[in-house]
Structure 1
Amino acid sequence: MELPKRAQKLEWNLNTIIQLVTLIGVCAGGVTIWVNKGRDIEELQNWKAGHELLHKERLVEVKAIEARNEERFRSLESEVRKIDNLSYRLTVTEQSSTSTAAAIKDLQSLVSQQSGDLKVIKEILQRVEGGQLRR
C-alpha cells in the first residue's frame, strides 16, 4: 500500500509577497486614480456650466448697462443742444441789451438837450411877458 501523496506545501517566499503587495497597491492606486479622475471631470463640468451661466448673466448685465448709458448719452446730447441754443439766445439778448442801452443814452442826451431848450424857451417867454407887462 502506498501512502497517498502529500499535497505540496504552499511556500511563500519574499519575492511572492512583495509582488502580491505591489499588485494590490497598483490596483488600489488605479481605482483611486479612476475615482478621482471621474470626480474631477464631474467637478470641471459643473464649474464649466456655472461659469458659462455666469458669463451669460454678466453679458446681460453689460448689455443693460450699455443700454442705460446710451439712453443717458442721448438725453445729454439733447441737453447740450439746448445749451447751444441758450448760448445763441444769450448772445442775441446781449446784443439787444447793448443796442437798447445805446438807444437809452441817445434818448437821455435828447431829453437833456430838450430840457436845455425848454429852459431857453422859458427864459424867452419870461422876457416876453416881462416886456408886455412893462408896456
Structure 2
Amino acid sequence: MKKDAEEELMVSVSLFKCKRARRLIMEGMEGSYIDEFNHLESYCNELKRSNPGSDVSLELSKEALENGNRVFNRLYVCFNVARMGWKAGCRPIIGLDGTFLKGNARGIMLTATGLDANDSLIPLLLG
C-alpha cells in the first residue's frame, strides 16, 4: 500500500498511516458484511415469493440466539425448477464442491450440482 501510494500518487506516507488506513477500510467492510447479513431474511422471503415451490432455509446460530444476538449460521436454497429438472431428467451424476471462506465471513461454502451424462462421460464412469 505504501509503495503504491508513493508510485501512483507521488506522495510520501508513513507505514503507520498505511496500517491505519487499512484498519479503517477493513472496519468499513465489516460493517457492510453485518448490513448484508441483516438482509438475509428478506432475501429468503423474496426467493420464496418469486420462486414458488422452492426450498429456502435460513439457520441462525442457536448459541447467539440464546444470548439475544442474531448471527448467521447457514443457508440452504433448492430452486423448484432445478428439482423438477432433476426428477424429470434422472441425472445420475452429482458434483459436490467446497471452498473455505476467508476474511470476516469465515466458513465453508458447499455447492452440489447435477450433471447430464453424455456419451463421452459414460466410458469414464464405467471404466
TM-score calculated relative to the size of structure 2 = 0.27
Q: Larger % of helix: which?
A: 1
Higher relative contact order (CA closer than 8 Å, sequence separation 6+): 2
TM-score (norm 1): 0.26
Q: Say which one has the larger Rg.
A: 1
Structure with the higher strand share, 1 or 2: 2
